[in-house]
Structures are given as C-alpha cells and as structure tokens.
Amino acid sequence: MAVTTGTILGVNGNMVSVQVSGNVALNEVGYILLEDQRLKSEVIRITGDMVEMQVFEMTRGIGIGDRVEFSGELLAVELGPGLLSQIYDGLQNPLPELASQCGFFLQRGIYLNALDRTTKWEFTPAVSIGDVVSSADTLGTVPEGIFSHRIMVPFNFKGRFTVVSLASKGDYTVDTKIAELKDENGSIHEVTMMFEWPVKRAISNYEERLRPDEQMVTKVRIIDTFLPVALGGTYCIPGPFGAGKTVLQQVTSRNAEVDIVIVAACGERAGEVVETLKEFPELIDPRTGRTLMERTVIICNTSSMPVAAREASVYTAVTIAEYYRQMGLNILLLADSTSRWAQAMREMSGRLEEIPGEEAFPAYLESVIASFYERAGLVRLKDGSKGSVTIGGTVSPAGGNFEEPVTQATLKVVGAFHGLSRDRANARKYPSIHPLDSWSKYGGLIDPQLTQYARDVLFRGNEIDQMMKVVGEEGTGLDDYTVYQKSEFLDRVYLQQDSFDPVDASVGVERQRHVFNLIFDILAAQYNFASQREAREFFNKLRQNFLDYNGSEWKSDEFERLENEIKQMVAEKKNGIDPGAKKLMAVNA
C-alpha cells in the first residue's frame, strides 16, 4: 500500500499547512521529516488537497518544502495490561523511560511504546476453542495489581468470531499472540494482549447505558452530604488560583471509593504537576495499604509543553478510563485544568482563522466540552456487570470570574458544581467550596429535606452576617444572632475538614450520617440564652468540643465521651425544637 505524502506550504506556530498527494483522513497521524527526526502531527482540517495539521512538538526548524508522511492511522493509544502506575505524556509516551533516554531535557521526535514489551503477564484463558465471541468479550485474564485485567476481543472487531486457537495458561508478553479468531468470511485474525484505539472515538462496546443512581463516596463531608457526585456522573471544580483545586483533587483521588484513578494534568503549571508526581507514589492507599500509584495512571502535560498535546492528554486519559470501565470497574478521571485545554483550542482556532466566539474562544467550545463529559457514564456490560467513568474537571477562570465562557460551557453539562471561593480560601476555610453557590443534581447520603434545612440555616446565617456588618451585633435580635451562631457552627465543624488530620481527612459514610444527625439536632433545637454573649460563649465551647470530636477515632472511648459531653451541653440550654424541624424528624424517624 502506497504511503501518502505531502509538502509543507506554511507554518503558523504549532500549525502547519500541507499539500497532499493521496488520501488522508481527519485525525490521521502524520510525521514531519526533519533530518533524523520525525515530528508527530494530527490532521485537524482538510480542504481539497490542502490539510492543516497540529504538531505535538516544538516547530522550530520546520520550513516550507519539508516532507510529511502520513501513517494511515488515527491518533490512538495502546490498551492492555501495564497501564496502571504509569506516568505518560499527552501522547502516551512513558515519561520515566523518556527521561532515562533524554536526560534532564526531553528531546522532540522520540516516541516510545506505551506498554512494556518485555514484561510477562500470567494469562489464564476464559474461553475454549470453538467458542463464538464478539468485540469486548473476554478471552482471558491476567492479574494487574489488585485487579483481574480482562484480555478482550479488540473493540474494532465487527461481527462474530470463532476461536480457532488459544494460548494455554502461562506467562506471555503483551505483543505475543494469545488467540486466533475466524470471522464469518473465514478470515483469520490474530489477537495479542494489547490493541490500539482512536482517542477521539468513544468506546461503546457495552450492553446498556444506565442512569447514574449510586453515589461516589469521596469521604469529604461537604461533598458527600451537601454536593454529592454519582458513580458515572460529572462534576466541575471552578475556582481562582490558590483556592485549593489541586489539593481537593488529590484528597478526592486518595479517599474516593473507586477502583482506579486517572489524573490528566492537561496544562497545569509544572510546579503543581511535580508536586503530584512526588506525592502520589508516597501516598498510602487506604484500600490496600500499599502505594496509591498501584491503581493510578497519570497523564502529565504541563503548561510548558506544546499546546496541542493538552488536547491529546485529555482524550488519552478518557480513553484509558473507558477501557477499564469495560472490565466492570469504577474509574475516577480528574482533569486539571480544562481551562488550559480550552486555551489551546482557542489558540488553534485563531491559527485556523475561524470566526471567534466569546472572548475569542472557538464557537464550538460548548459542543467540544460537552462531548468530553458525555464520555462519562454508568454502563451495564455484556456479562451483566456494571462499570463507570466519573469525570471531575477543574476550571481556572481568570480572576475567579465564573461568568467566563469555559466555566459557563462546563456548567451546562455537568451534574454537580463545586465552586471554590476566594474569600473562604483567604479565611483558611478548606475545602473552600462555597456552600451556598454550589449545587448538585445527584442524590446524597442524607435525606435531601434534612440537608435543605441545614442549607437554609446557612442562607439565613449569611443574611444575618451581612446585616450585622451594617448594624453591628447590638442591632441584631437574639433569635437572629442565635441562627447566625448555628450557621457558623455548621460551617466550622462540618463543612470544613482538616486534610492533615489522620482521622478528619477521611470520613466514612456511617460516621457522616451519625455526625450529621447529631448536628441536625443542634441546629433544630431552640435555646434559652439570656444574652448574645452567652450564645456566643456556648457555641464557641461547643465548636471546640466538636473539633476534638472530629479528630477522635470512630466509636473509640474518646469519641463516645466527647459525644456525651456535647449532648449534655445542648440539653442544658435547649428549651424546645423548631416546629419545621420537628416535622422532618418525625418523617425520618
């Protein structure tokens, strides 16, 4: 088969214009030939015999007349055992191996195999010769960490196939033939433990797409109780610089009750990415007691790398997530930050001379962001098991302005909004998720009527706080001042969480329900205070006891002692229950 070639007619930043002699396809990979270097590129627009290509490398030295060879293949990733614990760049080059070859500075034009061809995996067949299979059916399994990695019929195999040969149980490399399949026309297809899949094509080899109805427990109280996320759902974390987006993602990745975590550092600053790379191998996985990296994949593309690779890193990450979902696993994909990806799209759109949308972002920004988040989901597989991909994306709006296009386009498609507040971050209130501005469309751990009652206390407390800034405490009625103290108490002891405390950093479902019920009783109580000073002193002492309570081991003697003290304090000042809360308590009894 003849190789399609082309000649460069223009260079504009990381975009090149190429005149082609032959056939090419959208998203096809081409290589710009520079002496001994081959620079990877992707076709992004075709007009007659002219194509525009985005180059995944620095374009220094590329000139008019340089030759381009097209691969005939779409931009794709390698899928198979060995992905877990890896650190890749946006094109799925393993960065540790790349660094060992290139030294401190990475060289362009070097592309390595994503999966190690020397490691042997213990293959156990799951079918027999003569069985009929189709795409995504399991041919066998290999152990990968704590998981049983399914070796599946490649997803691009169409129709039904008969197994005509199958490797026996044993150790094989990923590129060793483990089966031969005969299609309905009698042709034989060899299958190894790995195959490639185009990153911009969603993997849909499942039986049914389901409604996300089961909560993804993060063990972060404000999220699980007030702003829940569903397994297979989507959420975003917009916030200004320094508000704690990256830390919140790291806390979530360590404690969330999911099987695999994939971190796509799609254009974040190099310092933050280095912090992630340093911390993840040292973090202890609460699930296994070993390093968290054993069930993590990191796609690393910093803001100093070529902008085109930001887009590739996002799609590489979500494709790997979909691949593991086909094994019946729950995957959490964290993209940090999608604003950088959008900026890369804006840069490329400008070079293509497209009509700009708001703030010069491309007019199709919303549809591209929507198509990314739509690849999340809960699915039922052919064997009846379920798998999910949950996508959480951070957004870095300039100046913390949530009205800017990337944030607004994201809010239209996600199921939960965890907006970070500059004021709360400055006040050292972490997580700095604003409890009044944020929202979620998913069901949570607690009855929504109870959480809404607590949110109403927060809303009313905020109103009173704004009023007190004008009239002062002395101009505020005792009842209103008590509501204000209740809202401050709820904020300090439940919405805020100490990520450095070994106990408070991760709060399980049973404890969250238990503690919330105790707090609800405190919020619902009517108190007999003689003055604002007495109310303030009571809630200050109660708050301190509760912080100690949060730091005590679940159901320990210290935990029980502090809880009894808190209940005794409340009983001494309590003289009734709010009628509205009384009805809710009766319904939920």
Using the 8-state DSSP alphabet, how is residue 495 labeled?
Answer: I
Using one digit for the tens of pLDDT, what is the confidence trace for 442-498? 999 999 999 999 999 999 999 999 999 999 888 999 999 999 999 999 999 999 999
Does 98 reside within a domain?
A: no
CATH number at residue 510: 1.10.1140.10
| Predicted confidence band of residue 23 (pLDDT cuts 50, 70, 90) | very high
Let me know whether 521 and 412 are in one domain: no
Using one digit for the tens of pLDDT, what is the confidence trace for 431-446? 999 999 999 999 999 9
Using one digit for the tens of pLDDT, what is the confidence trace for 384-398? 999 999 999 999 998
User: What's the rounded mean pLDDT across residues 276-297?
Assistant: 81
Does 495 reside within a domain?
A: yes
| Predicted confidence band of residue 1 (pLDDT cuts 50, 70, 90) | low
What residues pair up with 29 in beta bridges, in sequence order? 42
| Predicted confidence band of residue 270 (pLDDT cuts 50, 70, 90) | low
Using one digit for the tens of pLDDT, what is the confidence trace for 532-582? 999 999 999 999 999 999 999 999 999 999 999 999 999 999 988 888 888
Let me know whether 402 and 459 are in one domain: no
Residue 243 assigned ligand-binding role: yes
User: What Rg do the C-alpha atoms of the chain give, in angstroms?
Assistant: 28
Let me know whether 217 and 177 are in one domain: no
Using one digit for the tens of pLDDT, what is the confidence trace for 399-427? 889 999 999 999 999 999 999 999 999 99
Residue 346 scores a pLDDT above 90:
yes
Residue 311 scores a pLDDT above 90:
no
Distinct helix (H) and strand (E) counts, the chain: 15, 28
Does 55 reside within a domain?
A: yes
User: SS3 for 339-404, per residue?
Assistant: HHHHHHHHHHHHHCCCCECHHHCECCHHHHHHHHHCCCEEEECCCCCEEEEEEEEEECCHHHCCCC
Let me know whether 241 and 299 are in one domain: yes
What integer pLDDT is reported at residue 36 of this predicted model? 84
What integer pLDDT is reported at residue 267 of this predicted model? 75
Residue 245 assigned ligand-binding role: yes
Let me know whether 388 and 326 are in one domain: yes
CATH number at residue 139: 2.40.50.100
Residue 287 scores a pLDDT above 80:
no
Residue 271 scores a pLDDT above 70:
no
Residue 246 assigned ligand-binding role: yes
Last residue of a domain, one of 169, 193, 217: 193
Backbone angles phi, psi at 326, to 5 degrees: -65, -10
Let me know whether 270 and 350 are in one domain: yes
Let me know whether 458 and 431 are in one domain: no
CATH number at residue 37: 2.40.10.170
Let me know whether 216 and 354 are in one domain: yes
Total domains in the fold of the chain: 4
Q: Three-class SS of residue 563?
A: helix
Backbone angles phi, psi at 192, to 5 degrees: -110, -175
What's the chain's average pLDDT? 93
Residue 241 assigned ligand-binding role: yes
CA 270 from centre of chain: 19
User: What's the rounded mean pLDDT across residues 169-183?
Assistant: 97
Let me know whether 181 and 214 are in one domain: no
Rounded to whole angstroms, the Cα distance separating 274 from 267 reads 12
Last residue of a domain, one of 193, 221, 254: 193
Does 310 reside within a domain?
A: yes
Let me know whether 346 and 272 are in one domain: yes
Range of the domain at 473: 448-587
Does 204 reside within a domain?
A: no
| Predicted confidence band of residue 266 (pLDDT cuts 50, 70, 90) | confident
Residue 242 assigned ligand-binding role: yes
Does 263 reside within a domain?
A: yes
Last residue of a domain, one of 193, 226, 256: 193
Let me know whether 186 and 216 are in one domain: no
User: What's the rounded mean pLDDT across residues 582-586?
Assistant: 78
CATH number at residue 289: 3.40.50.300
Q: Is 385 exposed, middle or buried (0-12, 13-18, 19+ CB in 10 A)?
A: middle
Let me know whether 346 and 424 are in one domain: yes
Does 374 reside within a domain?
A: yes
544 compared with 285, residue with greater pLDDT? 544
What integer pLDDT is reported at residue 304 of this predicted model? 64
Using one digit for the tens of pLDDT, what is the confidence trace for 33-85? 998 899 999 999 999 999 999 999 888 999 999 999 999 999 999 999 999 99
Does 82 reside within a domain?
A: no
What integer pLDDT is reported at residue 122 of this predicted model? 97
